[in-house]
Amino acid sequence: MSVSKNKATNLLRSSEKSSLRRFLVLYFILVVMILSLLGTFYYQSKEKLMYSNQRTLLSNYAHEQIQQLRQLHQEFPANTVYPRSSEFRSAIYDIERSKIFSTLKSKNIYFNKVFYRKNGVIRFMMYLDDYYLGAKYLFIEIDEDKEWYSSVMRDIFILGTIILIVLGIFGLFFVNLFLRPMKNSIMLLDDFIKDTTHELNTPISAILANVEMMDLEVMSEKNKKKLARINIAAKTVSHLYQDLTYLTLDHNRKSKDEWIDLKKLIEDRVEYFAILAGSKKLTFELNLNYSTIFIDGIKIARVIDNLISNAIKYNKRGGKIEITLRKDYFSIKDSGIGIEAEKVNDIFERYTRFNSSEGGFGIGLNIVKSIIEEYSLKISVSSILQEGTTIRVDFLKGTVDDG
Amino acid sequence: MDKIIVLLLLTLSLTGKEISNTHEVYKKHCIPCHEHLPYSLEKIYMLYLKTFSGELTFKASLKAFLKSPMEETSVMPDEWIENFSVKEKTILTDKELDKAINSYWELYDVRNKLR
């Protein structure tokens, strides 16, 4: 059961993987947006706190400066030195907003703002009740705290990263939770196929063996036709059985690679499908050169069988199937209904069929794809609606006999 | 050229006379009385400055007080009023008063002294 489960987890189709990717991207964007919003709130609250602290500090400086101005006013003109501090800079302006004295960095002064930040400095304005030295407005200025900014940004980055990781773990957990029903369905279907496959083997073998053994000489034409139909039906079921067996049992077995004579193999398989093709009055056109490939015999047979089977299944009555074999590739062309351009990429998905009018489980091309990928071969599909489909398999250098 | 030089010298001499006349009013009509009082004119200036702040407000308030001195509008302390009472109304014309006040402001302006 654990094997089945492991297998099921690998059964996610590319469309499901794409949905998963989309969900994760969407989730990530949403999380980043929420975190940005939280970061902004955090920054603003810290900024507010910093300003509140700075305002208190500047207010204290202002009261300190007023005391100094009061003293200077009393001592004037014996003492004419304007009070200065290493902690802050200051300026005094009279009631007509005319400058009396200033140690500020900039001459630009705003009389309508009590507390403000501009060009890297923070300024605080205080009104004097007694106009010492004629001063009505006192400005206190300090440089902006750059440490504060980098400290807050560091906090936001560290906290944001931790939250992002935690939410990412939650996201993966939820994705798995949502996908579990989907995985279970696929696993159930696979289990069903696996169980029924076992039950198909014996009766199909018996039917095919007995059909082969029947004496056609003593049989009437009518019965010969009936027997041919039985043969076709049994071979169709046999083909399906082999696909299902490969999918559920043989898929995980170790490959037994050997040099396979493709020309002979294709000829054998064409002969095997001859009766089936004959039922739709299809003709084979074989253009086969000699070619060998280093591959597992059962697997390459599954590839050829599935491609020929599809070419028969989706062909029109009285059509033809052209099979070409060259040293480094083979192609199978039918004269059938064709595939819509936007659906070409989906045909290799499991449980996907060209069209629902034909029978089958839609697993054939999925098997082809898995074998092609295993041997790093290249498969390409070109199709024109109502004209036919060509499937070409290119061999990798090293797998073909160059001699 | 000679005419220009003559005109320039005439202008300069008139300007010098004007300046001298401005301070003349202040020296003639303010200092004689105040130099015998315990509060110097500079101390009174600082009191006015502390009360009225800006130049225009300072000059306008001082002018108004000198033209119509009252206990209520005086910036001097109560002890001063009790000992010396409020000064008498000025006999200077508005023009002379302005000149005297301008001299007073220029003489003790803190902007020129702060360093």
Pick from A355, A350, A363, A349: nearest CA to A389? A355
B75 φ, ψ (degrees, to nearest 5): -95, -5
Q: Are A399 and A294 in contact (CB under 8 A)?
A: yes
A87 φ, ψ (degrees, to nearest 5): -85, -30
Question: Is A96 within 8 Å of B52 when comparing Cβ atoms?
Answer: no
Name which of A96, A101, A134 is nearest B49 (Cβ-Cβ).
A134
B113 vs A contacts (CB less than 8 Å): 76-77, 80
- Interface residue A80 vs chain B (CB under 8 A): yes
Cis before B38 (ω within 30): no
Band of the pLDDT at A191, cuts 50, 70, 90? confident
Mean pLDDT (whole number) for B84-111 = 91
- Interface residue A114 vs chain B (CB under 8 A): no
Q: How far apart are alpha carbons B98 and B62 in whole angstroms?
A: 10
A350 φ, ψ (degrees, to nearest 5): -65, 145
Residue B36, both tokens: 């015998």
pLDDT of residue A1: 38
Per-residue pLDDT tens for B41-55? Answer: 999 999 999 999 999
Q: Higher pLDDT residue, A276 or A125?
A: A125
Domain limits for position B17: 2-112
Of A88-92, A212-216, A356-360, where does the model show the most confidence?
A: A88-92
A-B Cβ pairs (cutoff 8 Å, strict):
55
pLDDT of A12 > 70? The answer is: no
Q: Higher pLDDT residue, A39 or A212?
A: A39
B42 vs A contacts (CB less than 8 Å): 77
Domain residue spans of chain A: 1-188, 254-394
Percent of chain A with pLDDT over 90: 36
Band of the pLDDT at A402, cuts 50, 70, 90? low
pLDDT of B7 > 50? The answer is: no
Q: What angle do CA A8, A311, A259 make, to 5 degrees?
A: 70
Question: Is B52 within 8 Å of A73 when comparing Cβ atoms?
Answer: no
- Interface residue A86 vs chain B (CB under 8 A): no
B43 vs A contacts (CB less than 8 Å): none
Question: Is A101 within 8 Å of B111 when comparing Cβ atoms?
Answer: yes
Name which of B53, B108, B115 is nearest A131 (Cβ-Cβ).
B53
A254-394 maps to CATH 3.90.1150.10: no
- Mutate which of B42, B49, B108, B113 to test chain A, going by most A C-beta atoms within 10 A? B49
Residue of A nearest to B111 (CA): A100
Per-residue pLDDT tens for A39-83? Answer: 999 999 988 998 899 999 999 999 999 999 999 999 998 999 999
pLDDT of residue A361: 55
Q: Is the dihedral of CA A125, A130, A136, A141 positive or negative?
A: negative
pLDDT of residue A94: 95
Per-residue pLDDT tens for A222-246? Answer: 888 888 888 878 887 887 787 777 7
Band of the pLDDT at B15, cuts 50, 70, 90? very low
ipTM score of the complex? Answer: 0.81
pLDDT of residue A15: 62
Say how many domains are in chain B: 1
Per-residue pLDDT tens for B16-43? Answer: 444 455 588 888 988 888 888 888 899 9
Per-residue pLDDT tens for A241-273? Answer: 877 777 766 556 677 888 889 999 999 899 888
pLDDT of A8 > 60? The answer is: no
Q: Higher pLDDT residue, B85 or A135?
A: A135
Q: Are A273 and A312 in contact (CB under 8 A)?
A: yes
Band of the pLDDT at A351, cuts 50, 70, 90? low
- Interface residue A193 vs chain B (CB under 8 A): no
Question: Is A100 within 8 Å of B114 when comparing Cβ atoms?
Answer: yes
pLDDT of residue A118: 87
Instruction: Mark which residues 118-147 of A lie under 8 Å from B by CB.
Output: 130-136
Band of the pLDDT at B98, cuts 50, 70, 90? very high
- Mutate which of B39, B50, B109 to test chain A, going by most A C-beta atoms within 10 A? B50
How far off is chain B from A94, nearest CA to CA, in Å? 5
Band of the pLDDT at A174, cuts 50, 70, 90? confident
How far off is chain B from A82, nearest CA to CA, in Å? 6
- Tell me the average pLDDT of chain A: 84
Mean pLDDT (whole number) for B76-83 = 87
Please name the residue that has the structure tokens 């001499």: B13
How far off is chain B from A121, nearest CA to CA, in Å? 24
pLDDT of residue A5: 42
Beta strands in A313-375 (DSSP E): 320-326, 329-334
Name which of B46, B54, B115 is nearest A96 (Cβ-Cβ).
B54
